Amino acid sequence: MAGLAQSGSNPDVELLYDINGLAKDAPSWFDRIMEFVGEYGLLLAMVLLVVWCWWSVRRRGGEEAASSVAALVWAPLAAGIAVLVNVPIRGFVERPRPFFSHEGLDVLVSGKTDFSFVSDHATITMAMGVGLFVAHRKFGLAGIGLALLEGFLRVYMGVHYPTDVIGGFALGTAVALLLSPLAMALLTPVMKAVERSPRAGRLIRRRSSAGGQETLIPDTRTEPAGSEERDLAA
């Protein structure tokens, strides 16, 4: 398996040179920005997106708040599990980084000596993006978009083959979706218990201040017919 995509005549390597060639043609200051974004920036952006989604779900409240927060908790957990699953995959495939096998690449990040398949960055971001999609469609689409950009930048930086990225996308998606029913079954009751807590409940739903005391914002329900007349009669 170590000889995977070693030949420079296959589409995987050709696409590697095409995408990485953009870095060779770009000014050095732009490459430095892409180096930071691809190595750290998009991971940070994904975390901030999860926090933003949690804040939105918390403010909206409603009966589905606990299950939505449970899905948000699952997103980073899915990313962590996917990276653990990748450990034996990397050891089995033993694919060297592309710059060890192919000359002329513009490598933006030094010190990468571990195996290349599959990409941890692509795995993490896609697992979190798909996990976000389970919780909230719009935020999830934004997260998947960030994951796709992360995958492109890993090839642009010269540290991964395109198939390393595709493999990471597949692994992150599989873990996030296949284990989602089990994760939701375990996490949703926990989040509902937190929601009922006088103090920790504010992590699930926003509280309103009434008479100097904080209470969870109740769900809006339709009053039974005739309730207004009974109040007036009283």
Number of domains making up the chain:
1
Single pTM value for the model = 0.80
Residue 165: its pLDDT value, please? 96
Contact of 61 with 205, CB cutoff 8 Å: yes
What domain range includes position 173? 29-190
Asked whether residue 56 is domain-assigned, the answer is yes
List the one residue out of 89, 63, 109 whose CA is nearest residue 204: 63
Q: How far is CA 177 from CA 96, 103, 127, 199, in A?
A: 29, 38, 9, 32
- Domain assignment present for 61: yes
CA dihedral of 71, 148, 125, 42, whole degrees rounded to 10:
-120
At 106-123, the pLDDT tens digits run: 889 888 888 999 999 999
Q: Among 103-107, 157-161, 190-194, which range has the highest average pLDDT?
A: 157-161
Q: Give the helix ranges, DSSP H, for the chain.
A: 11-25, 28-36, 42-60, 65-93, 98-101, 120-135, 137-156, 162-178, 180-196, 227-233
Confidence band, pLDDT 50/70/90 cuts, at residue 159: very high
Could you tell me if residue 229 is inside a domain? Answer: no
Residue whose C-alpha is closest to residue 69's, from 219, 183, 221: 183
Asked if residue 165 belongs to a domain, the reply is yes
Q: At what angle do helices 162-178 and 120-135 cross, to 10 degrees?
A: 40
Q: Give 203's Cβ-side CA count (13 Å radius).
A: 16
Distances (CA, A) of 40 to 97, 150, 225: 19, 10, 57
Q: Is the dihedral of CA 109, 114, 115, 117 positive or negative?
A: negative
Q: Is residue 13 part of a domain?
A: no
Q: CB within 8 A of 147, min separation 6: which ones?
A: 46, 122, 125, 126, 128, 129, 169, 172
pLDDT digits (tens, 9 = 90+) for 60-86: 766 777 888 888 999 999 999 999 999
Give the distance from CA 85 to its chain's centroid.
Answer: 16
Whether residue 96 lies inside any domain: the answer is yes
Residue 212 inside a domain? The answer is no
> Is 19 inside a domain boundary?
no
Amino acid (one-letter) located at 187:
L
